[in-house]
Amino acid sequence: MEARFASPQPYSSFDDFGKAFPEQGNIGFEISTDNFQSQTSEISMDVESDTRSFPIFAQGFLNSPLMEKETKRDKENYSKQCLKFCRRISNVLLKYILRDEGIANEIFKLNAGVLKNFATALSLPAPSTYELIKIQIETLQRLWGKFRDHLAFSKNKKISIVQQEYWDLIFSKEASIKHLREDIKTLSGLWRTNEGRQLLQEDTVNELLARMMYCSSKMLVMYLILEDPSEKNSFSEGLEKMENFILLGLYPGFFKYYNHKSGKFALECCGKCKVCCSKLLPPNFLIELNSARRGLSFVISKLSEMSAWYGSKPFELVVCLMEFAYNQFA
């Protein structure tokens, strides 16, 4: 595997609020291999493609209506569901990144190759792959540890619902990368080897690693939710409004327009609550929301197709996943 520098290439992406970004650049490198060429561009763009490769789809997740009809269940209080979701995903991810095998470990190996190339380009001694994996794990542990602590009743006695600032810590590009930069800077002063400290103290590496960790974190969240690697599908068990939380993870700009109690977005709720009557609500909000839902369907479809094509080939799967992540999230 080789990661090489590349001039920024144009691609279509979505911002935190679901709007299309034309002609955005990548984060300064592209991934290539000696014995494998990414075929993501050849994968069908059809959002109705086969989704059987993800266990959660067997439950009809993708085909469940995103705009539910009014039922008695809609009168229930869903305010704790987001909190439950956040606590569960943080616990699952923090355990998963410690595994010596699996998609997370393959992502870290791929990223390590990129970091080694940057070290060479900066005329710095390159840490070992093992050390670079440890750097990534400890970086994500710091970010996700803060997220978990904000949501823990033992650490935050006032917690009742998930606040926007907590959500943004993980899912907002601007906020998450800001925290990651700070965490990497702190880690650079504490790191155990000279090679690791020198690399982390470079501003360009700090910026690159922060963006890599943001994209890797977001992709791992999507993968863990959709793949649900636990044998009993324990992640999704007992969680309601999952489709809303996945959409909010991809497009955190909608978070302030989500009514946690009803489990609905503004203008689909009651028309009377603070969320529906917010003065900040854009006049074309429903158009933007529907655009984001189409974007969510597209992302789920693409990830499903990648899993179906390369599910038995972890390296090839990770190359496709991270190429997609860097293009869509960076």
Q: pLDDT (tens digit, 9 = 90+) per residue, 131-149? A: 999 999 999 999 999 999 9
From the list 141, 129, 119, the residue with the least C-alpha distance to 190 is 141
- Work out the end-to-end distance of the chain between its first and last CA atoms, rounded to an integer number of angstroms: 21
Query: What pTM was computed for the model?
Result: 0.81
Segment 233-239 mean pLDDT: 75
Output b/e per residue, 9-38; b: 16+ Cβ within 10 A: eeeebbebbbeeeeebebbbbbbeeeeeeb
The C-alpha angle with vertex 97 and arms to 330 and 182, in degrees rounded to 5, equals: 50
Mean pLDDT of the chain: 81
Q: Please give the C-alpha separations between residue 231 and each of 29, 56, 235, 237, 244, in angstroms, as whole numbers.
A: 36, 12, 10, 12, 24
pLDDT at 60 over 90: no
User: What are the DSSP calls for 269-298, one per residue?
Assistant: S-SSSTTTT-TT--TTHHHHHHHHHHHHHH
| Distance (Å, whole) CA 155 – CA 89 | 18
Dump pLDDT digits (tens) for 144-171.
999 999 999 888 888 888 999 999 999 9
Q: Which stretch of DSSP H or E encloses residue 254?
A: none
- 28 three-class SS: coil
DSSP, collapsed to helix, strand or coil, labels residue 258 as strand
Rounded to whole angstroms, how far apart are CA atoms 314 and 207?
27
Contacts of residue 73, Cβ cutoff 8 Å, sequence gap at least 6: none
The DSSP bridge pattern shows strands 20-24 and 29-32 to be: unpaired
* Beta-carbon count within 10 A of 155 CB: 11
Q: What is the pLDDT of residues 242-278, one digit of tens each?
A: 999 999 999 999 999 999 999 999 999 988 999 999 9
The answer, yes or no, to whether residue 17 has pLDDT greater than 80, is no
Residue in 148, 132, 130 with CA at minimum distance from that of residue 94 = 148
